[in-house]
Amino acid sequence: MTFRFLITFFLLISFISTSAQDEESQCVRVDNFSIEQRNQKYPFNKATKIVFASFKGDESKLPKNKRSKDYDGERALYVEGQIMQIYFDILKKRPSKFNPDHFEEKVELSENQKNELTDLIFNVGNNIYVSGAKCYMPRNAILFFGDNNKLIEFVEICFECNNYRTSNEKIDLNNNCGEKLYLLKEQFSKAGIQYGIVN
């Protein structure tokens, strides 16, 4: 009898815990900022063009001094996602180094797509902090361009690990619900981006 009670008790606790985790991961509408209000937030208020992009880790995209070197006849290889991080570290310091040919796919967002993006970022969440996985292998990005088609900011994204980093601490995806990056991934897919999304 006691054993059956303990089993029932642990199953109940497990169910409650799972339900709580599911609730934390769900995204709901938490604000109702208008399009005009959302477009006044940085960097959308400075961007003349916003692009969804994918990036494959090819060493030839890096300056020669950043490429892996031979050590005693053995080549030190970069791990998955590391080349993109190095590339974006360079862009963070010198945005003029941006080369559109280094990106496998690039989709400039229409006004409707931009509105969907800002709505997701600023109006959707659940006000519970969610951390990403410890892994980080970015393959996608949101690129913000200003006057004269110059790169001004970026968001580097690893959908696989539910994590991202930005070029500026002022930029925040407000990733406060577990499925927010999944919803963003759907927007990338609808825009036609495949690398890092479906393969």
Beta-strand ranges (E) seen in the chain are: 28-29, 49-54, 70-71, 74-75, 105-108, 124-125, 140-145, 151-158, 163-166
Question: What pLDDT score was predicted for residue 20?
Answer: 36
- Judge contact between 142 and 83, C-beta under 8 A: no
Closest-CA residue to 171 (of 18, 22, 24, 47): 47
Say yes or no to pLDDT of 173 above 60. Answer: yes
pLDDT digit string (tens) for 48-100?
Answer: 999 999 999 988 899 888 887 655 556 667 878 899 999 999 999 999 999 99
Distance CA 119, CA 10 (A): 40
Helices marked H in 64-150 — which ranges? 82-93, 111-123
pLDDT digit string (tens) for 185-197?
Answer: 999 999 999 999 9
Closest-CA residue to 67 (of 81, 94, 87, 53): 87
Q: pLDDT category, 19, cuts 50, 70, 90?
A: very low
Residue 84: other Cβ atoms inside 10 A: 27
Distance CA 86, CA 92 (A): 10
User: What's the pTM?
Assistant: 0.83
